[in-house]
Structure 1
Amino acid sequence: MTAPDPVALSADLIRCASVTPEEAGALDVIRAPLEAAGFRCTRIDRGGVSNLYARWGSEAPVFGFNGHVDVVPVGDEAAWTRPPFSGEIADGVLWGRGAQDMKTGVAAFVAAACRFVTETPPKGSVALLITGDEEGPAEDGTVAILDWMAANGERVDACLVGEPTCPETMGEMMKIGRRGSINAWITARGRQGHVAYPHKANNPLPALVHLLDRLSRHELDQGTAHFQPSTLAVTSIDVGNPASNVIPSEGRAALNIRFNDAHTGAGLDAWLRSVAAEVAAFSGVELEVKTRISGESFITEPGALSDAVSAAVKSELGIAPDLSTSGGTSDARFMRAMCPVVEFGLVGDAMHQVDERTPVEQVETLCAIYARALGEWFRKA
């Protein structure tokens, strides 16, 4: 069989309006060429989300790819130069939502995997974990696939996530880890009153502002061997008080911490609650803290997997990618519980934007890099 063309496959995927959690036929688009190449495909549906697990081969070792076909909303469709789900190719550029994040990455590794197992079948297996819930809550996507794998005795020994990783130039960066992320919502409750008689009220806002100032000024760390310093950003302060002569009874705030491997989510949760308790004790204002940890920090030490990807990039582009832990979270945070994981993909300068697009040449190069990475990894496995 002839392996699918990664650009044509990317365009077909973009034409599926798979705004998370809608699948919109995207999994069928990639299932057909995979089955034609001998992959056994299993659709895994959970919580209104559709996912696909595909495997070629039955023996170890197993090399895995992970990616998502869901996309963020298009925003103001009238602001787009070309329709966001057109998959149009013009002047060597592929247009549409998902052209960078990350239908092209999925198409590239599907095409590369089909080409690799057809032309140079390895002594081992290749598995693809493709989700429809990366841009959403991420509770029933890659996590659901991993749960299914555990129940069915499936595993991978190394995983390459196809997220866009390059800031400006193709090949310049590979992600070997990610910072953790914790969101916090703080509610300050006092006693409402007239601004002319503040002694009869208990204004919660000074306590809330003081707490946010303490948290913001605190140096979490100075960075670690593989990570930049952790950061805390206040993202919202909301009082909802339209009256200038009323001391409100309540104020709310939200913040996010992106943390490195000097911390854990539980440790930061405890720190937030401890500081809030101190402020509450001297202010007499109730300070309620709620948190959600969306991912712990992790690092894949340089080794066989990163070496295979680096060698592939250097063969195709003549450069060795920097090994980075920058950026936000991705589904690599789930894969790392099973195996070593790295991320490598396109330049991400237009992802989530109006007129998302990517040069066709980059998609073709990415497919070639993935195919070479497979060969490099199996050669040393």
Structure 2
Amino acid sequence: MRDDLVARAAQQSASVIGLAQELIRRPSRGGIDNYTPVLTVLEGWLSGRALPHRRLLDDARQPVGLLVEIACSRPGPWWTLDACVDTASFGDESAWSFPPTSGDVQDGWLLGRGSADSKLAASAFCHIAADVRARAGTLSGGLAVLLDVDEHTGGFGGARAYLGDPDAARPAGVMIGYPGMDEVVVGGRGLWRAGISVYAPSGHSGSSRSAISAVSRAAHLVHLLDTADLPGPPRPGADFLLPPKLSVTAIHGGQGFSAVADRCDLNVDVRTTPAFDASDAETLVRKAVAELDAELPGPAPTRIEEIACWPPFQLRPDEQPAAALISAARSLGISVRTKTAGPSNIGNLLAGEDGIPATAGFGVPYEGLHGIDERAHLAELPQVYAVYHQAVLDLLGAS
């Protein structure tokens, strides 16, 4: 059967690339572009193959994704393939060597924003859904394909709408189609994010009265946070091999030259691990804030507002759906290793809100993801397609 899947993947490649090209040529930058054009391309393709699908809407009745649902004839768990079809912004378009919405194939590379993250994967997953539909009478459970258009905003509206949909079957596991050929991503650090507001007396910068500005107080807080005592790298052989990390990612305060800033706002991002969780992150930040207010008192206590909190997650290699993906890759001669990623991803959302296991990456080689000249290498597409196809069939009980 595996030889048949490899042959099928080769047959499907041209169609997969063609649909991906159409998607890339419809700009869908998160929070910038209208998503209707890219959703319409997908809906046209799915309708042309009689694949059941529906739009997912947020609380404001705005589209945040598409959901494809393939029910099999025998009872069993549902599994989900997930890929985003919104993208990062283009950045400095003059720095690109081709248009960000090119969609052309050049020297074996698919060019354009979203080629790697993740319109090629979205196209492949739609084709796999069609292949599964053709043999659903011999399979158990069901396959959902989630095509999210609210991923790069950080809102993950498509995933949230899917998980909150009473008509959708709860998935037993999710495979997210981020690119990268050498690794199956089975986990990620969590995060604890907060906005911090630092205060100071307002006044004229030329006044004879001595007053430290909110910007200066905030700068001192940045120093306290940057030098805070975080646990170091775990010892070799530990289950979770990444250390926690704290970053001050934004600072805003003051205007002009003659006014002493009376407020300065900071964004703090802490990446968490099982050994240093959200509670530890909050304790560390509150300790630094307490030191600031004691050493350089202001007219009001420094305020901390939690913005987001996701737990770390990590699947064992023998836990589904990681086991099926790893087994499929190795059975097709692809050497893969498992990886726990530093950045967080939808897998954290799934783990934190619903306890749903997820893989968060296996796909074609790529360059320029979120940067200039994003492109995806196509020579490996048949192998990647066959791996996901095989993994899905294994999970659906194909014999």
Shorter-chain TM range is 0.7 to 0.9
Please name the residue that 1:77 is paired with.
93
> Judging changes above 3 Å, is the alpha-carbon distance between structure 1 residues 37 and 312 closer, same or farther for their aligned structure 2 residues?
farther
- 2:169 pairs with 130, 144, 154, which one? 154
Aligned-pair identity in percent equals: 23
The residue identity in structure 2 corresponding to 1:98 is: G
Helix, strand or coil at the partner of 1:365: helix
Please name the residue that 1:102 is paired with.
118
Assess if the C-alpha contact under 8 Å between 1:188 and 1:288 holds in 2: yes
* Matched AA of 2:127: A
| 3-state SS in 1 of match to 2:117 | coil
SS of 1:61's equivalent in the other structure is strand
The corresponding residue for 2:4 is none
Is residue 257 from structure 1 mapped to residue 275 from structure 2 by the alignment? Answer: no
Matched residue SS, 2:376: strand
What is the DSSP-based 3-state SS (H/G/I as helix, E as strand, rest coil) of the residue aligned with 1:6?
Answer: helix
1:31/1:193 CA distance change after superposition, 3 Å: closer
Q: Residue 174 of structure 1: which of 184, 190, 194 is its match?
A: 184
Separation in 1, partners of 2:85, 2:35: 8
**Aligned residue runs from structure 1 range 269-348, under 5 A:** 269-285=282-298, 286-293=301-308, 295-302=310-317, 303-319=319-335, 321-336=336-351, 337-343=354-360, 344-348=362-366
Paired letter, 2:221 = L
Q: Which runs of 5+ in 2 are unaligned?
A: 1-7
SS at match of 1:100: helix
CA contact (8 A) 1:104 1:363 kept: no
Q: Using a 3 Å threshold, how does the CA distance of structure 1 residues 338 and 23 change in structure 2: closer, same or farther?
A: farther
1:130 aligned to 2:147? Answer: yes
Change (3 A) 1:374 1:282: same
Partner amino acid, structure 2, of 1:77 = E
**1:234 to partner: Cα distance:** 2.1
Alignment of 1:1-381 (within 5 A): 5-21=15-31, 22-35=34-47, 39-46=51-58, 47=60, 48-58=62-72, 59-118=75-134, 121-148=138-165, 151-152=166-167, 154-164=169-179, 166=180, 170=181, 172-192=182-202, 200-204=210-214, 207-222=217-232, 223=234, 225-240=239-254, 242-243=256-257, 248-285=261-298, 286-293=301-308, 295-302=310-317, 303-319=319-335, 321-336=336-351, 337-343=354-360, 344-379=362-397
1:263-291, CA deviations, whole angstroms, 9 ceiling, x for partnerless residues?
44355234423431342134222422233
- Give the deviation of 1:310 after TM superposition: 1.0
| 8 Å contact kept, 1:71–1:97 | yes
Offset of residue 323 of structure 1: 1.4
* Conservation of the 8 A alpha-carbon contact between 2:365 and 2:377: no
Which AA in structure 2 matches 1:369?
V
Give me the whole-angstrom Cα distance separating, in 2, the residues matched to 1:52 and 1:196: 58
User: What SS does the corresponding residue of 2:89 show, helix, strand or coil?
Assistant: coil
**Counterparts in 2 of 1:78 and 1:270: CA distance versus 1, 3 Å:** same
Instruction: Give the direction of change, closer, same or farther, for the CA distance of 1:232–1:80 in structure 2 (3 Å limit).
Output: same
Task: Give the TM-score of the pair, scaled to structure 2.
Answer: 0.82
Change (3 A) 1:250 1:50: closer
**TM-score, length of structure 1 as denominator length:** 0.86
- Contiguous gaps of at least 5 residues in structure 1: none
Q: Name the structure 1 match of 2:3.
A: none
